[in-house]
């Protein structure tokens, strides 16, 4: 139940609608709050939270449902458009969708159950917690299908730790989960599972092994796993999966190491462990892959890289050149933090080199090295939406955000590496705030379900401020996301190669994002 209480007198009815061919515009249910930034947040508490419109029911033929969010007016506002004869071809930007040309299948979208996320959720009252988890995983929310779970601590923990901090315990006799797992991760993962209408695909990632297994005897800094500890480290993954299974949590995948390059250079100031691609290939091929298979976890998909796309396609090439590692690797994880250094074409090259392995965006956030939390930043919505579209248009099969929830300072984080998150909690007043980034995630995650197939989309836009991506959903509907980063109004004509009943004409405001769904 999301809409426990709605006082429509408090809701500002958005002034925008696309007047030409749009009918039935309905107000959204965001309770707005402004902090003097470029846009607003939506406020939720123990009795009220806004919801996301569903497109799962039957849609009338000849009509499209459009879900829109704009900088100054709306969040997930719905309206209907009709396919029609275009009014003024010469002035419109044309978008052409062609389902005869197909690309990758979608795995999903999601976020991470970090210690910090759980600590913040736990600070809310029980009904507010339920509304928060429903906002991400419920059918009235944005229906995330993926959750990332750190294996022991990350920087988004209150102190660095592993599951076996007993020097020399190579048999892992003292391995144990921590209070962080039992109080701040497992209960919320299981709660999300009960809220979700579909199985949540979980994947796990380690930041660092126990300090004693490493060359520098530390959780952070310049250091790697000592080769004599490769096999204990593989067994450590198995123990983690066994312990979580006791709590009814099973994993779809893992990444062999979060950002393996961090520990290969001096100056890594939070949990990290360095690997060369050659060493990672040895570990995956000789230790991790066979050990998981022997211990009943052979169905857990192994991802490598889990680092910036600057390492594509060279890291996959080196790892998969090892015939043993090659047998076990299912996919590649990419993070977004160095995207300005290399073009997205490296993702396409990676796909072309290894067409039978998937690419998943496994981490992204705004805020590092700048103001950690900006309450109501539209630019941060645009950065998410633009990156998701770019990734999806270059063979990436899904996009996983970093912390599901943080506090007003962007933490907690023991290494003071504070960042932003799509939901910010204010425990002093039992409120949580949905940042514009939350809606960026939702415009994709709710409307492009697992196993949707990307189809061809072309945009005629010389100003290069319109971005889009198109999908054929398993239910036969098409789902198209359009991001408009322009500062001026623009008319768009959407042509579907399979239709003879005309085009969709949209006139919408500057700085907006739209998901268009039709049969
Ligand atoms: C929760 O939010 C609703 C809608 O904004 C508001 O009417 C209600 O008073 C809030 N409840 C509390 C306890 O603040
Ligand atoms: C239609 O095109 C004419 C010129 O061909 C232009 O003057 C007019 O503004 C256009 N109308 C719209 C709605 O774009
Ligand atoms: C396991 O932990 C206990 C204390 O809880 C300690 O006495 C023992 O030495 C540890 N075992 C190993 C192998 O480190
Ligand atoms: C959180 O609540 C406190 C107490 O009302 C308030 O001072 C603070 O500004 C709030 N923070 C945000 C981000 O709204
Ligand atoms: C993008 O914004 C422009 C104004 O900047 C507007 O004219 C155009 O219709 C918008 N596009 C969409 C798809 O909303
Ligand atoms: C759609 O794609 C198919 C296959 O590439 C092509 O034959 C057809 O001409 C395209 N249709 C349009 C309208 O672009
Ligand atoms: C949104 O409002 C701000 C402040 O009034 C204004 O500067 C900005 O241009 C508006 N954005 C759009 C897209 O209208």
Query: Where are the domains positioned within the chain?
Result: 62-106+451-519, 109-445
Q: How far apart are CA 403 and CA 117, in angstroms?
A: 6
Q: Average per-residue pLDDT in the chain? A: 93
| Residue 19 neighbours by CB distance under 10 Å | 8
Residue 298's pLDDT band (cuts 50, 70, 90): very high
> Where do the H-state alpha helices sit in 416-476?
436-445
Q: What is the DSSP letter of 246?
A: H
Topology of domain 109-445, CATH: TIM Barrel (3.20.20)
The tokens for 431 are 């409120």
pLDDT for position 493: 87
Q: Please give the share of the chain, as a percent, with pLDDT higher than 90.
A: 86
Residue 499 backbone class (left: φ over 0; alpha: ψ -120 to 50; beta: rest): beta
Evaluate whether 468 touches 480 at the Cβ level (below 8 Å).
Answer: yes
Q: How far is the CA of 387 from the centre of ligand 6 (A)?
A: 27
CB hemisphere CA count around 113 (13 angstroms)? 32
Per the annotation, the verdict on 458 as an active-site residue is no
User: What is each CA distance from 223 to 213, 260, 262, in whole angstroms?
Assistant: 10, 10, 9
Supply the pLDDT for residue 89.
55
The pLDDT score that the predictor gives to residue 88 is 58
pLDDT at 14 over 70: no
Please write down the HEC assignment for all residues of 295-350. Answer: CCCCCCEEEEEEEEHHHCCHHHHHHHHCHHHHHHEEEEEEECCCCCCCCCHHHHHH
363, 382, 390, 450: the active-site residue:
363
**408 is a catalytic site residue:** no
pLDDT at 7 over 50: no
Task: Tell me which DSSP letter residue 173 carries.
Answer: T
> What are the φ and ψ backbone dihedral angles of 46, each rounded to 5 degrees?
-70, -20
Helices (H) and strands (E) in the chain, counts: 12, 23
The residues facing 161 across adjacent strands are: none
Query: Is 60 exceeded by the pLDDT of residue 131?
Result: yes
Looking at the CA of residue 92, tell me the nearest atom of ligand 2: 14
Cα–Cα distance, 111 to 463 (Å, whole number) = 33
Tokens of 377: 């930043």
Say yes or no to pLDDT of 233 above 80: yes
Q: Is 497 in the pocket of ligand 6 (CB under 6 A)?
A: yes
Of 90, 489, 490, 505, which is best to mutate to test ligand 2, by the most ligand atoms within 8 angstroms of its C-beta?
90
Give, in order, the Cα–Cα distances in Å from 71 to each of 37, 234, 433, 447, 513: 11, 48, 16, 20, 9
Q: What is the mean pLDDT of residues 419-428?
A: 98
Q: Residue 60 has what pLDDT?
A: 85
pLDDT in the model for residue 501: 85
Predicted confidence at residue 412, as pLDDT, reads 98
Which of these ranges, 41-45, 86-90, 211-215, 288-292, has the smallest mean pLDDT? 86-90
**17-31, 75-89, 307-321, 425-439: which has the minimum mean pLDDT?**
17-31
Residue nearest to atom 9 of ligand 4 (CA): 426
Query: Domain 62-106+451-519 belongs to what architecture?
Result: Sandwich (2.60)
C-alpha 181/C-alpha 195 separation (Å) is 20
State the CB neighbour count (10 A cutoff) for residue 294: 11
Task: Give the chain's radius of gyration (CA, Å).
Answer: 23
Q: Who has greater pLDDT, 501 or 452? A: 452
pLDDT of residue 457: 97
Mean pLDDT of all residues in 474-492: 86
466 or 325: whose pLDDT is higher?
A: 325
Q: Which of 259, 390, 431, 450 is catalytic?
A: 259
- Is 13's pLDDT higher than 50? no
C-alpha span between 81 and 87 (Å, rounded): 14
pTM: 0.93
Dist. CA 460–CA 81, nearest whole Å: 21
Q: Are 306 and 279 in contact (CB under 8 A)?
A: no
Report DSSP letters for 55-111, one per residue. --S---TTEEEEEEEESSS-SSEEEEEE-B--S-GGGPEEEEEEEEEEEEEP-EEEE
DSSP 98-150: EEEEEEEEP-EEEEE--HHHHHHHHTS-HHHHHHHHHHHHSTTTT---EEEEE
Among protein residues, the one whose CA lies closest to atom 13 of ligand 2: 88
Give the C-alpha separation, 161 to 154, whole Å. Answer: 8
Q: How far apart are CA 219 and CA 339, in angstroms?
A: 27
**Quick one: pLDDT band at residue 118, thresholds 50, 70, 90?**
very high
The CA 90 to ligand 2 mean position distance, Å, reads 7
The arithmetic mean of pLDDT across residues 384-412, rounded, is: 98
**Nearest CA to 270 among 229, 218, 233?**
218
CA nearest to 360, candidates 329, 381, 322: 329
Whether ligand 4 lies within 6 angstroms of the CB of 517 is answered as no
Give the separation between CA 475 and CA 449, rounded to whole angstroms. Answer: 9
> Which residue minimizes the CA distance to atom 1 of ligand 7?
72
285 contacts 302 by C-beta, under 8 angstroms = no
- The stretch 131-150 carries a mean pLDDT of 98
Nearest Cα neighbor of 406 from 385, 437, 383 is 437
What pLDDT shows up at residue 500? 86
Q: What is the pLDDT of residues 327-352, one digit of tens each?
A: 999 999 999 999 999 999 999 999 99
Please say whether the dihedral angle defined by the alpha carbons of residues 413, 415, 420 and 422, taken in this order, is positive or negative.
negative
Is the distance from the beta carbon of residue 408 to the nearest atom of ligand 4 less than 6 Å?
yes
Tell me the average pLDDT across 470-492: 88
In SS3 terms, 336-396 reads as CCCCCCCCCHHHHHHHHHCCCCEEEEEECCCCCCCCCCCCCCHHHHHHHHHHHHHHHCCCE
């Amino acid at each position: 139940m999301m809409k426990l209480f709605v006082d429509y007198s408090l809701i500002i009815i958005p002034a925008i609608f696309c007047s030409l061919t749009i009918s039935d515009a309905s107000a959204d249910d965001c309770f707005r709050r402004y902090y003097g930034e470029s846009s607003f947040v939506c406020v939720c508490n123990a009795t009220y939270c806004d919801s996301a419109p569903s497109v799962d029911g039957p849609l009338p033929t000849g009509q499209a449902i459009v879900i829109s969010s704009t900088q100054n007016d709306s969040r997930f506002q719905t309206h209907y458009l009709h396919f029609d004869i275009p009014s003024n071809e010469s002035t419109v930007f044309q978008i052409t969708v062609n389902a005869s040309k197909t690309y990758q299948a979608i795995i999903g979208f999601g976020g991470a159950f970090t210690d910090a996320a759980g600590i913040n959720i736990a600070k809310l009252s029980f009904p507010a917690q339920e509304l928060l988890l429903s906002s991400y995983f419920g059918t009235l929310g944005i229906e995330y299908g993926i959750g990332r779970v750190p294996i022991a601590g990350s920087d988004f923990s209150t102190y660095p730790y592993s599951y076996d901090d007993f020097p020399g315990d190579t048999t892992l006799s003292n391995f144990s989960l921590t209070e962080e797992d039992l109080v701040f991760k497992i209960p919320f993962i299981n709660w999300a599972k009960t809220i979700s209408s579909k199985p949540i695909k979980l994947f796990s990632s380690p930041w660092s092994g126990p300090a004693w297994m490493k060359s520098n005897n530390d959780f952070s800094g310049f250091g790697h796993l000592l080769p004599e500890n490769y096999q204990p480290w593989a067994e450590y993954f198995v123990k983690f999966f066994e312990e979580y299974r006791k709590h009814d949590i099973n994993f779809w995948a893992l990444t062999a190491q979060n950002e393996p390059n961090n520990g290969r250079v001096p100056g890594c100031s939070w949990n990290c462990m360095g690997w060369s691609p050659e060493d990672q290939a040895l570990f995956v091929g000789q230790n991790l892959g066979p050990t998981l298979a022997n211990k009943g976890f052979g169905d857990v998909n192994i991802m490598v890289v889990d680092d910036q796309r600057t390492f594509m396609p060279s890291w996959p090439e080196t790892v998969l050149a090892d015939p043993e590692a090659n047998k076990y690797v299912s996919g590649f994880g990419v993070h977004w933090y160095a995207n300005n250094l290399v073009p997205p074409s490296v993702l396409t090259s990676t796909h072309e080199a290894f067409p039978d392995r998937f690419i998943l965006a496994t981490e992204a956030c705004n805020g590092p090295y700048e103001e950690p939390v900006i309450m109501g930043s539209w630019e941060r919505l645009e950065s998410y939406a633009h990156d998701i579209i770019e990734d999806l248009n270059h063979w990436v099969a899904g996009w996983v955000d970093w912390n599901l929830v943080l506090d007003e300072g962007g933490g907690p984080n023991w290494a003071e590496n504070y960042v932003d998150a799509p939901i910010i909690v204010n425990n002093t007043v039992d409120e949580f705030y949905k940042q514009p980034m939350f809606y960026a995630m939702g415009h994709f995650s709710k409307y492009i379900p697992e196993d949707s197939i990307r189809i061809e989309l072309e945009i005629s836009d010389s100003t290069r401020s319109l971005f889009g991506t198109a999908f054929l959903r398993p239910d036969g509907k098409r789902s198209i996301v359009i991001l408009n980063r322009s500062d001026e109004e623009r008319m768009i004509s959407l042509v579907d190669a399979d239709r003879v009943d005309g085009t969709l004409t949209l006139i919408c405001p500057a700085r907006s994002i739209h998901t268009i769904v039709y049969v």
